[in-house]
Structure 1
Amino acid sequence: MTTREMTDGRFVRQANRFTDKITADGSSGYPAESGRYRLIVSYACPWAHRTMIVRSLLGLKEVINLAVVDPIRDEKGWRFPDRDPVTGASFVSELYLASDPEYQGRYTVPCVWDTRTRRLVTNDFPFITTMMETEFTDYLPTGAPDLYPVELRPEIDGLNELIYATVNNGVYRAGFATSQGAYDEAVEALFATFDRLEERLAGRRYLFGDAVTESDVRLYPTLARFDAVYNGHFKCNVRRLTDYPNLWGYARDLFSIPAFGDTTDFDQIKRHYYITQRNVNPSGVVPKGPLIDWSEPQDRAALTSG
């Protein structure tokens, strides 16, 4: 089932095809090695955005190299602005078909290419970030943050499941719904979670206290796109992000961290969604707004862990 197929009007996301693991000890056949793997991303894609954030936060820019595709995707899928010098590909589809000539699904980012075996290791976006956090520890510089602390993993995993189902994927479930019931179900769950997160962030700086974790990384890309795209383009317009004092302040707080702000490209985000998704926006016209000041001061640092 592809990302555009529906069940009773409900959006169903395509399962990930490549799910091999990179491991610190090499037991998977793909050992964590500096310079071996190429992370393929788009600044427009929220799933890819989280991988760029983690790569930067952990100081892995010199360990895992990066290839960025053009934000405008056509019937051939994601394309490289110029032929990728490492893989030799012009389109991400070439990497998928080189890894599996029988592959017939959508060609998605993020994905990780192994320069040694010349095949895709994974396009399993939920686990690419935790793989970097847990399997590349030998390459982390002194002072690198622990985004996935062992003692918090059950709680982080639980919150991540909620965020994925109702927020990250929830906006797509609303935007691509083809029945009123499916749309209503998705939007109500989305804003119920926003309300819960607004309350959670009233007394703590980040989702788990004073330090950024994997949960913050997963939530942020949706927040960054919310008012610019999802509020109007995906009909998630019950409220705006800016209508939530705590969530909006929290989002700006994260944006002020270079790993988050420097990987947030609103121009590419808007052009991708409004030009590429003609089933939602047939004209391809990209709106000028909204005019939002993400650098507006916030005082989140004054909060205790709660």
Structure 2
Amino acid sequence: MSSEESGSYVHEGEAFDRDMRYIDTRITRDARDGYGVEPGRYRLIVARACPWAHRAVISRRLLGLEDVISMGIAGPVHDWRSWSFDLDPGGRDPVLGIERLREAYFRRVPDYPRGITVPAMVDTRDGAVVTNDFQQMTLDFATEWTAFQREGAPDLYPAGRREEIDELNRWMLHHVNNGVYRTGFAGSQAEYEKAYRDLWESLDVLEERLGRSRYLMGPSITEADVRLFPTLIRFDVVYFAHFKANRQPLFTLPNLWNYTKDLFATPGFGDTVDFQQIKEHYYVVQTDVNPTRIVPLGPDLSGLLEPHDRDRFESATWGAGTAPGPVAAAERVDPAHTPWGAASL
């Protein structure tokens, strides 16, 4: 059982060390790992609270894979037995018929010894997890599922820039995406201060970078933006206070904040964010950080709806593609959990 599965995140005197060992089986066109690309065969299991799962939700929507890969959504609060499907009628995923995600893991590896994580791709034929490798998953959505992407799908991982994107993504993973966790789950003052300084130095680098182009790689959205947005959208809501990453709120950094507002207004990004589930997860589940389990009412998120200034840069948001269509009715976020549905959450 991993520390995250058991509910223990902070270890006294230690730095936070994320277990990055995942089921790395891939779903590919040539089925070289035994799993071929096939419409309707796989179910993507996510939780709207989780930033790693959020990437997969965004990628699937931008690429128009909703009718090809179904999606199950776990609730925001779980216990040591793993994510559960308490949002569904009867508390069971309607396709897989399971109450807890660990059932799908155990069908692949009995008594699976590591974290029961989202996102996870599950084979509906046998109900077993194929992969939970969130790093590779969205890259495969972009490159292996091209035959089934919607007409006008953007090229999120252009061949000529993959090395640059990979380098930036590796850096962001360690210093920003996981940097907030290293700050929040530090087990000593010294480890906290080290992680805090590294996180803010890295955010300052991104603030400067986003002063040169609309998106991280230039005028168009890429995989790098898909990976950064879930961290930024959670920053003022969770990481600033809950993880003590409190040098300053994100809204005081003009380039990062306007970039976040820009993406929030972009189809596929803001319409996949559920702020209430995000807050419930972090503040209720992580009891060694927040033992009272009190969920804060703030912050006021209405600023996300204000105009941004990112159109001052050269822009080709979708490259040679087009924006995705409306969110499917069954996958819409509850309006009450959004800035336009409530003045404050």
Under a length normalisation based on structure 2, what TM-score does the superposition of the two structures give? Answer: 0.86
In the alignment, what sits opposite 2:122? 113
1:233 is paired with a residue of what secondary structure?
Answer: coil
In the alignment, what sits opposite 1:245? 254
Matched, 1:139 2:148: yes
Amino acid at match of 1:238: R
Matched, 1:51 2:56: yes
In the alignment, what sits opposite 1:299? 309
Q: CA deviation at 1:26?
A: 1.8
Runs of 5+ consecutive residues of structure 2 not aligned to the other structure: 316-345
Matched, 1:254 2:285: no
Q: CA deviation at 1:8?
A: 5.3
Contact 1:39 1:66 (C-alpha < 8 Å) held by counterparts: yes
Matched, 1:69 2:78: no
Q: CA deviation at 1:28?
A: 2.1
In the alignment, what sits opposite 2:338? none
Amino acid at match of 1:118: G
Contact 1:38 1:113 (C-alpha < 8 Å) held by counterparts: yes
User: Which residue of the other structure, out of 144, 158, 161, is the alignment partner of 2:170?
Assistant: 161
Give the distance between the partners of 1:56 and 1:185, measured in 2 at CA: 37
In the alignment, what sits opposite 1:279? 288
Amino acid at match of 2:314: T
Q: CA deviation at 1:189?
A: 1.1
1:97 is paired with a residue of what secondary structure?
Answer: helix
Give the distance between the partners of 1:165 and 1:291, measured in 2 at CA: 29
Matched, 1:181 2:181: no
In the alignment, what sits opposite 2:34? 29
In the alignment, what sits opposite 2:224? 215
List per-residue Cα deviations over 1:206-240 (Å, max 9, x = no partner).
00111100000000000010000000000000121
Give the distance between the partners of 1:117 and 1:285, measured in 2 at CA: 39
List per-residue Cα deviations over 1:130-185 (Å, max 9, x = no partner).
01011001111221100000111111011101110011100110111001221111
Report the RMSD for the aligned CA atoms in angstroms: 1.4
Amino acid at match of 2:213: R
User: Which residue of the other structure, out of 255, 267, 278, is the alignment partner of 1:269?
Assistant: 278
Amino acid at match of 1:61: E
Q: CA deviation at 1:15?
A: 2.9
Q: CA deviation at 1:301?
A: 1.8
Q: CA deviation at 1:279?
A: 0.7
Contact 1:5 1:12 (C-alpha < 8 Å) held by counterparts: no
Give the distance between the partners of 1:7 and 1:14, measured in 2 at CA: 17
Give the distance between the partners of 1:86 and 1:290, measured in 2 at CA: 36
1:10 is paired with a residue of what secondary structure?
Answer: coil
In the alignment, what sits opposite 2:236? 227
Give the distance between the partners of 1:176 and 1:5, measured in 2 at CA: 5
Contact 1:48 1:125 (C-alpha < 8 Å) held by counterparts: yes
Under a length normalisation based on structure 1, what TM-score does the superposition of the two structures give? Answer: 0.96
Contact 1:2 1:14 (C-alpha < 8 Å) held by counterparts: no
Give the distance between the partners of 2:38 and 2:242, measured in 1 at CA: 41
In the alignment, what sits opposite 2:322? none
Q: CA deviation at 1:17?
A: 3.4
Contact 1:41 1:66 (C-alpha < 8 Å) held by counterparts: yes
Deviates more, 1:153-162 or 1:99-108: 99-108
Give the distance between the partners of 1:161 and 1:17, measured in 2 at CA: 16
